[in-house]
Chain A
């Protein structure tokens, strides 16, 4: 499976600011996804990051709040905009390729004060 890294691994941010999370894969992948895991909860898909086009967002998530970029087949970013304490979560990217299986990055733990 691909080696996936995320930056930063954790951050503490102030209310009203924005944070950009990077996801880097060591090989080209077809599918990239962003998930959110709120404290003590399961994972929820935010969006599918599409290479060369706008991301596909799930119900309840909007581009203005969670803009996503995917400039190539190995890299994507997720920005959490105008943060509030409710955005405190673990954010995970995942990748999928020829097989219908997803592998996850190590996650970014975000705390908003």
Chain B
């Protein structure tokens, strides 16, 4: 069974600085997807970034980028130029393709990020 681990329950960063959130996972699959979702106090789950396991290139979305290390089963999220609106709970998640007859997202425990002015 797949597992996802986020070892940092809480983190803080000063506005405009850079922060990295850690995530490790365990799977025997070769083809899968990894995600970072953000959940602000409004509780809406917002997709931040998506990585396909078959792609060696790390995904980027504006100020958000990942460091995907497939052999090490590591998937960290880097937030550059942190903004107050980045304050939220961040969840790392694993998913097998829909073609595998499952769409189950497996989530880590979450990391609460506080951006300080």
A residues within 8 Å of B by Cβ?
A: 1, 30-31, 33, 35, 37, 41-45, 48, 58, 90, 92, 94, 96, 100-104, 106-107, 109
Q: Contact partner of B45 among A30, A104, A109, CB < 8 A?
A: A104
* Chain B contact residues, CB within 8 Å of chain A: 33, 35, 37, 42-47, 50, 91, 95, 97-98, 102-105, 107-110
Contact status A45-B104, CB under 8 Å = yes
Q: How far is the CA of A109 from the CA of B41 in the complex (A)?
A: 12
* Chain B residues with CB below 8 A from A106, complex form: 42-44
B103 and A33 form a contact (CB under 8 A): yes
Chain A residues in 8 Å Cβ range of B37: 104
Q: How far is the CA of A31 from the CA of B104 in the complex (A)?
A: 10
User: A94 vs B44: C-alpha distance in the bound complex, in angstroms?
Assistant: 11
- With A42-B91, A43-B105 already in contact, the answer to whether A104 and B44 are too (CB < 8 A) is yes
Contact B105 A30 (CB under 8 A): no
- Which residues of the other chain, B, contact A96 by a CB distance below 8 angstroms? 98, 103
Q: How far is the CA of A44 from the CA of B42 in the complex (A)?
A: 19
